Amino acid sequence: MSAPTAKASKKELNSNHDGADETSEKEQQEAIEHIDEVQNEIDRLNEQASEEILKVEQKYNKLRQPFFQKRSELIAKIPNFWVTTFVNHPQVSALLGEEDEEALHYLTRVEVTEFEDIKSGYRIDFYFDENPYFENKVLSKEFHLNESGDPSSKSTEIKWKSGKDLTKRSSQTQNKASRKRQHEEPESFFTWFTDILTQYYLVPDMDDEEGEAEDDDDDDEEEEGLEDIDEEGDEDEGEEDDDEDEGEEGEEDEGEDD
């Protein structure tokens, strides 16, 4: 009679286990729903924080303007400040050709202006003295971010003087069949103003960086070749020294025989 009782107890255990599983799944589902509710509150606070931060940024942007102006006046007292800055910039310098550097000697001021709401974009203005390359006194480029976050840009049309269009000259002088040639003579800096949509920041393309990497590999191979030549030269010198030593020893032996 004890066996049926044991079977009944096993059924009860199984039933209790199933009930516990159902309760656990229900609790998990409720927890997930509560997590969504909490996350919605966090997102709401993040949006509120962004609005507050934006107001602070707008406030301090206005407060910084007099200092920007003062800094610009001080920079104007330093000859060739901007061309020196561009040439020594690790990224911008990769965009500069020799004639670009000549043209940038006439660059007197650079200003970056964020749009009123800040988050929608900014404008960069380049101020030039009278120069032999183009008529414009100011070259500008604007970057915009739409509501979906996609960037767009528009630039000043450069009014080149006759025969001085550096963007055309650059494309004509480049040897497209040689990567190394392209690296030595990059596209003109001023092509940046002709691109309808380009990088959001003024940096060289990834292709240029890959080209630099390939050039570095070539340079390494050349250096290794030079090292091999040097080592062979050292070995030849060593052999010559050995020959001279043997010759001296031979002369000493002849002297002793005499």
Spans of all domains in the chain: 31-77, 79-214
Q: Decide: residue 97, CB within 10 A, 0-12 exposed, 13-18 middle, 19+ buried.
A: buried
The CATH number of domain 79-214 is 3.30.1120.90:
yes
What's residue 145's pLDDT?
A: 81
More confident residue, 150 or 189: 189
Q: How far is CA 91 from CA 128, 189, 243, in A?
A: 22, 12, 55
Instruction: Choose the most confident range, by mean pLDDT, from 72-81, 170-179, 212-221.
Output: 72-81
More confident residue, 65 or 8: 65
More confident residue, 124 or 13: 124
Q: Is 80 left (phi over 0), alpha (psi -120 to 50) or beta?
A: left
Proportion of the chain above pLDDT 70, given as a percent:
59
Proportion of the chain above pLDDT 90, given as a percent:
40
Structure confidence at residue 156 as a pLDDT band (50, 70, 90): very high
The 138-145 sheet, strands edge to edge: 107-114, 121-128, 138-145, 151-155
pLDDT at 19 over 50: yes
pLDDT tens digits along 73-82: 999 999 999 9
What's residue 74's pLDDT?
A: 97
More confident residue, 159 or 51: 159
pLDDT at 243 over 60: no
Whole-prediction pTM = 0.59
Among 37-41, 106-110, 218-222, the range scoring the smallest mean pLDDT is 218-222
Where do we find the tokens 């550096």? 166
- Beta carbons of 96 and 189 less than 8 angstroms apart: yes
